[in-house]
Amino acid sequence: MPKLIDETAMPRAWLRKRKRDEYYRAAKRTGYRSRAAYKLRQIVEKFNLIREGDTVLDLGAAPGGWSQVAKEIVGEAGTVLAVDRVRIRDMEGISIMTLDLETDGAVERLKEWAGGTVDVVLSDMSPKLSGNRSMDHALSVHLSGMALAVADQVLRKGGKAVTKVFQGDMYNDYLDSVRKRFSFVKGHRPKATISESAEMYVIAKGFRG
């Protein structure tokens, strides 16, 4: 299994390497707030995950790269709702909420905010890594399960979702829980994923409701 890495807490040598990374440089050049924006672009291109006019809920959205990509795709006719427990700087055309999903009533607040169901749920949520592979994997699965629980409540029938989860001994169990809810489920590593990372993106389409 690839070693788990945390892009937010790395030594200077790694940070220097990142600055040479093609996606990091491209994000700086194009105005995306993170290199992760290119992961979502590649996922959408391969799986047709988001369409013009969709309503998209982006969980754990900070700093906002995924929300920027989603807004480009949904256009003026669509809506992007970005939520994170940390404050996100304003983004043109994107609605933002600061909310901890683990607080009481969080899902109800999301449903009210969305004004009904949404077409797509995105989650690039990641735990702050401790260096203990088993613990970090478990925390990742917990966050992915939380995103799935939100999707249960806010996603329209036939809707789509993508969640990030670290590979490990609970990965297949998580896939099984997604398969119970969606007609199409596939694990995918976009090209923009750092080679040392254990992250996997679970693509899900055809929400059964």
Residues with catalytic function: 164
How far apart are the C-alpha atoms of 198 and 168, rounded to whole Å?
Answer: 8
What is the spatial distance between Cα 27 and Cα 22, in angstroms, rounded to a whole number?
Answer: 9
Longest dimension (CA), the chain: 47
Helix, strand or coil for residue 94?
A: coil
- Phi and psi of 162, rounded to 5°? -140, 130
Q: Are strands 95-98 and 79-84 parallel, antiparallel or unpaired?
A: parallel
Place of tokens 């933002």: 96
Cα 80 to Cα 89: distance, rounded to the nearest angstrom: 15
CA–CA separation, 140 vs 180, rounded Å? 20
